Amino acid sequence: MEQVQKQRLTILGATGSIGVSTLDVVARHPERFEVVALTAHTKVSELARLCLRHRPRYAVMTSDADAQALSSELRSSGLATEVLAGPQALAQVAALNEVDSVMAAIVGAAGLAPTLAAVRAGKRVLLANKEALVMAGALFMAEVRQAAASLWPIDSEHNAIFQSLPADYAGLFDRKGVRRILLTASGGPFRATPLSQMQTVTPKQACAHPNWVMGRKISVDSATMMNKGLEVIEAHWLFNAPADRIEVVIHPQSVIHSLVEYVDGSVLAQLGNPDMRTPIAHALAYPERIEAGVAPLDMFAIGQLTFERPDERRFPCLPLAYHALRAAGSAPTILNAANEVSVASFLSGQLPFLRIAEVIAAVLDQIPVTTVPDIDAVIAVDAQARAVATSIVADWT
C-alpha cells in the first residue's frame, strides 16, 4: 500500500463543536493527519485533555493567565507542548511553516485575524468561521487569490453546495449553467412556535436546536435565522453568486444540506445525517473520501422530506442580512457586529429574544454605509458598530 504523506494541522477553536468534531475525524486516521497546534479561548482543562490525547507541538490560550494554567497542567503530565498566549500567537500558529492546513473554527469576529494569517501564509484553509467572509468578503477573497491559498467551506450548507457544483466551477456562475443556489435551514427551535409565545423565550430554549449540536452563539443565530443570513453573505463570496440567485428554504429534517439548480432544470443536492464530521472529513481528504464516524442515512426511517418558505415576520434577521449584502461596503460588517452584541446581551439576560433583530436594524439605521478599503477599516467599522449596539442595548434595558 502506498504511504500517504501526513497532512499537518492547526485547529483554531479546538474546544468548540467544530474543533472537537475535527479532532474526532483526525483520530480515526492517525496515518493521514498530524496535529501541530491547538487553540482555545478560556477552556483550559478541555484544551489540556485534547493536548494529552493529540500531543500538539503548540497550544494557544487567549489570556496569559490561562496560558500559564494550561502550561502547569501539561507540565505535570510530562507533555512538552509549548504554550503561547494572545492574538499574535493565534496568528503565529495559523501561519507556521510546518503546517499544511488550518481549521478556522473560532466563532465570530475574533476569528478574522488568525484566519487571515493562514490565508496570507498560503495555507489550505478549512473555513468554519463564516464571519471572516461576512465582515471582509471582498478583501478576504482578494487575499486568498494573492497568496494562492485554497479555501474549503466547512459549513454543512456551503460544503453541500461545493459538492453539488461542477468540479471546474471556479466562480463562473452563469457560464457553468447555474441558475440559483438553495440554502437549506432547519427553522431552529421556534419554527412553529406561536409568535405570542416568543416574547418570553429563554437562552436555554433558544439553544435547544432540534437537529444540530452547536455552541450557544450559533444556536441563537439559528433560532433567529441570522445564521442563515450570514450564510447567504458567505455563499455570495464563496461562489460568486448574486443575492437574488441565493434562496433560503426551510427543511426541518436537516437531511438535504443544500442544493444547486441548473438552467436545464436539474437540481443537485447533497444529503446526509446532520453531523458536522461529514463536511469536515470531505474537506480534509478531498478529493478522496474517508470514514468519518457518521451513521449511514436511513431514507426509510426518515420517511419524508418537507420544505417551507421562511416567514420574514418570524425571522426578521434574514431580510436584514439580505439588505446588508445588497447595500455592500461596510453594511455586512455592521450587521455582524450588531448581531454579536445583541446575541451576547440576550444570552446574559439583558435583552429579550425578539429585540435581537430590533437592535440590529437600529444599528444599521444609525451608521452610514461606507467603503472599506482595508482590514483596518473593517476593524474600525466593527468597533463602531459594537459601541452603537452596546449603547442601544443599555438604553433599551
Residue 67 maps to a domain = yes
Domain final position from 153, 182, 200: 153
Residue 124 maps to a domain = yes
pLDDT at residue 170, as a whole number: 76
1 confidence band (pLDDT: 50, 70, 90): very low
Q: Is the pLDDT of residue 211 over 80?
A: no
Q: What is the mean pLDDT of residues 315-333?
A: 97
Give tens-digit pLDDT for 354-370: 999 999 999 999 999 99
The whole-chain average pLDDT of the chain stands at: 94
pLDDT at residue 110, as a whole number: 87
pLDDT-above-90 percentage for the chain: 84
Residue 372 maps to a domain = yes
Residue 362 maps to a domain = yes
Give the total number of structural domains in the chain.
2
Which CATH number do you get for residue 107?
Answer: 3.40.50.720
Question: Domain containing 352: what range?
Answer: 328-397
Domain final position from 125, 153, 181: 153
Q: What is the mean pLDDT of residues 38-50?
A: 96
Residue 312 maps to a domain = no
Residue 159 maps to a domain = no
pLDDT at residue 3, as a whole number: 63
Residue 88 maps to a domain = yes
pTM given for the model? 0.92
Q: Phi/psi at 193 (nearest 5 deg)?
A: -70, 130
Domain final position from 153, 178, 213: 153
Question: SS3 letters for 23-88?
Answer: HHHHHCCCCCEEEEEEECCCCHHHHHHHHHHHCCCEEEECCHHHHHHHHHHHHHCCCCCEEEECHH
Residue 221 maps to a domain = no
pLDDT at residue 250, as a whole number: 96
Give tens-digit pLDDT for 121-143: 999 999 998 889 999 999 999 99
Which CATH number do you get for residue 339?
Answer: 1.10.1740.10
58 confidence band (pLDDT: 50, 70, 90): very high
